[in-house]
Amino acid sequence: MNYDIIATLGPGSDDPSLWEAMLSAGATAFRLNTSHLSLSQTLDWIEKLEEMFQRTGKKPPIVLDLQGSKWRLGKLPAGPLTTGQQVELRSAVTSDKTAVLPVPHPDLFKAASSSNGEITLNDAKVRLQIETAGNETILARVTRGGPISTRKGITLTASDFRQEGLNEKDQLILTQTQSFDCVRYAISYIKDAAEMAAYRTQLGSAPYIIAKLERRQAMEDAIQIADSANELWVCRGDLGAEVGLKTLAETVFHFSDSLPHIAVPVIMAGQVLEHMTNQPTPTRSEVCYLYETLQKGYQGFVLSDETAIGQYPLESCQTAALFQ
């Protein structure tokens, strides 16, 4: 069975010899999440990968994950938020306090009034309830504590409001990397088919563009989004943070029925082998789900934390490749 395994690179896999081993183990592409990298860091990673490709004669795709319209925290000290704690979300780029969350996205504050009052952080590992909301400040109470750090994602539950488009950094990355023929682009938080068509018009026909499906409307528009994309990723982390776990399960289950009607490859992403972030072996449920996902018609998997920050990136690739 031939399928794709896109391995995200990060602090846990910053080693060219490991990259070679991951390719031998079954990885078919590498992913860099540029939301966590500067432009110079992104270029440095690509150049190191290109050096390895020249040395080995292998040249898999490098997928650059662009932020798109996804909301993320600014720079702040890493640390936990505790249940019951009051925190402030402030329209700012940086903060020197964990309890003051910098949010460099003015549209989040505009969108707060149209949400159900819940904010989730870090793939819904942390949850907040809005107490008061203003144009530049939100006061909220932590209803589920957990770790936060710079650049973690933010979601307003049950809100469709977004200011769509690529930010300045995304556009710089596009300008500086299109000369690399192995580079592909994954655009986060596609809203619908109209937004994806606008990206295709903006970028032209040359770049290989992946549409990340992380919102309810995008899942519903998948067949039409595929008209403007080369590949689709079903990203369960942010989708689950936006629609809730029960609706996530229902949405993905029914979405799988539409795979025969989608004209481009569809890849499953989001906690595929999450157990292996800290353990050398998968759960039995994870292995069974890998097989079921392939049988439903998905064209492969994206490994995220498992290979980017996990302790067992090579073993994660080997497990994901069990059915190759």
Kindly report, residue by residue over 251-273, the tens digit of the pLDDT: 999 999 999 999 999 999 999 99
Query: What percent of the chain shows pLDDT beyond 70?
Result: 98
Rounded to an integer, the average pLDDT of 87-100 is: 92
Query: What percent of the chain shows pLDDT beyond 90?
Result: 76
Q: What are phi and psi of 84, to 5 degrees?
A: 95, -15
pLDDT at 110: 84
For the full predicted model, state whether its pTM sits above 0.85. Answer: no
- Compute how many other C-beta atoms are within 10 angstroms of the C-beta atom of residue 299: 17
| Tokens 């249940």 sit on residue | 83
Is the pLDDT score of 46 beyond 90? yes
Is the pLDDT score of 245 beyond 70? yes
Single out the residue of 263, 270, 236 nearest to residue 251, CA to CA: 236
Predicted confidence (pLDDT) per residue in 123-175, tens digit: 888 999 999 999 899 999 999 999 999 988 888 876 666 666 788 889 999 99
Is the pLDDT score of 35 beyond 90? no
Is the pLDDT score of 117 beyond 90? no
Is the pLDDT score of 324 beyond 90? yes
Q: Is the dihedral of CA 31, 169, 135, 100 positive or negative?
A: positive
Q: What are phi and psi of 96, to 5 degrees?
A: -105, 10
Is the pLDDT score of 240 beyond 90? no
Rounded to an integer, the average pLDDT of 205-210 is: 92
Predicted confidence (pLDDT) per residue in 176-195, tens digit: 999 999 999 999 989 899 99
pLDDT at 288: 98
Query: How many residues does this entry show for the chain?
Result: 324
pLDDT at 205: 86
Look up residue 155 and give its DSSP letter.
E
pLDDT at 70: 78
What pairing do the DSSP bridges indicate for beta strands 266-269 and 300-303? parallel
pLDDT at 252: 96
Q: What is the mean pLDDT of the chain?
A: 93
Q: How far is CA 177 from CA 61, 62, 114, in A?
A: 13, 11, 37
pLDDT at 159: 66
Helices within 128-189 (DSSP H only) = 168-177
Rounded to an integer, the average pLDDT of 82-99 is: 93
Q: How far is CA 234 from CA 27, 219, 284, in A?
A: 19, 8, 22
Rounded to an integer, the average pLDDT of 230-250 is: 91
pLDDT at 158: 66
Is the pLDDT score of 219 beyond 70? yes
